[in-house]
């Protein structure tokens, strides 16, 4: 069954290190709802964009294909999938090419480098460019 709606967002940093008792590390989804306080940009996708995003995410990794990934995990982008009043999500870090998902999404973030490039371009072309990584002062 298809999603009721799909929204892409950019947001302030989630998964911040907790160093002291009482420190708070925000999450994209808190208590089953979008954490509106951290959202910087958002766009509800139409069917054509949903299909393009889905086909990008499921592009299979080729046997033997590898690439270097970072370890920072400082996500600033998300994909929200709403279905029957439930929100599933991806919380994405384009710097280290890693994402976390809600428990109901069974997709590895071990994606092809071209998949990561297309995913980043998808966000940028829709003006969700908050904290998109730069290389030597220029956009990747």
This prediction has a pTM of 0.87
Share of the chain above pLDDT 90, in %: 56
| pLDDT of res. 22 | 77
The tokens describing 122, both together, are 């998808």
Report helix, strand or coil for 97: coil
Do 29 and 103 meet the contact criterion of CB atoms below 8 Å apart?
no
| Alpha carbon distances (Å) from 131 to 9, 59, 61, 91, 116 | 12, 25, 26, 14, 15
Q: How do residues 60-104 score in pLDDT, each as one tens digit?
A: 777 766 666 788 888 999 999 999 989 999 999 999 999 999 999
For domain 5-139, the question of CATH label 3.30.1490 is answered with yes
93 Cβ neighbours under 8 A, 6+ residues apart: 72, 73, 74, 75, 76, 77, 99
- Enumerate the domain spans of the chain: 5-139
The tokens describing 112, both together, are 């092809």
Higher pLDDT, 123 or 74: 123
Do 115 and 123 meet the contact criterion of CB atoms below 8 Å apart?
no
């Amino acid at each position: 069954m298809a999603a009721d709606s799909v929204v892409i967002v950019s947001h302030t940093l989630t998964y911040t290190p907790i160093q002291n008792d009482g420190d708070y590390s925000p999450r994209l989804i808190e208590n089953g709802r979008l954490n509106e306080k951290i959202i910087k940009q958002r766009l509800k996708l139409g069917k054509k964009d949903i299909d393009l995003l889905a086909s990008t995410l499921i592009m299979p990794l080729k046997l033997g294909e590898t690439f270097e990934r970072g370890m920072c995990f400082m996500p600033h982008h998300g994909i929200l999938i709403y279905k029957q009043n439930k929100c599933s999500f991806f919380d994405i870090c384009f710097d280290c090419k890693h994402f976390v998902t809600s428990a109901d999404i069974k997709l590895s973030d071990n994606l092809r480098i071209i998949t990561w490039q297309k995913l980043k371009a998808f966000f940028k072309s829709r003006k969700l460019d908050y904290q998109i990584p730069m290389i030597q002062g220029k956009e990747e």
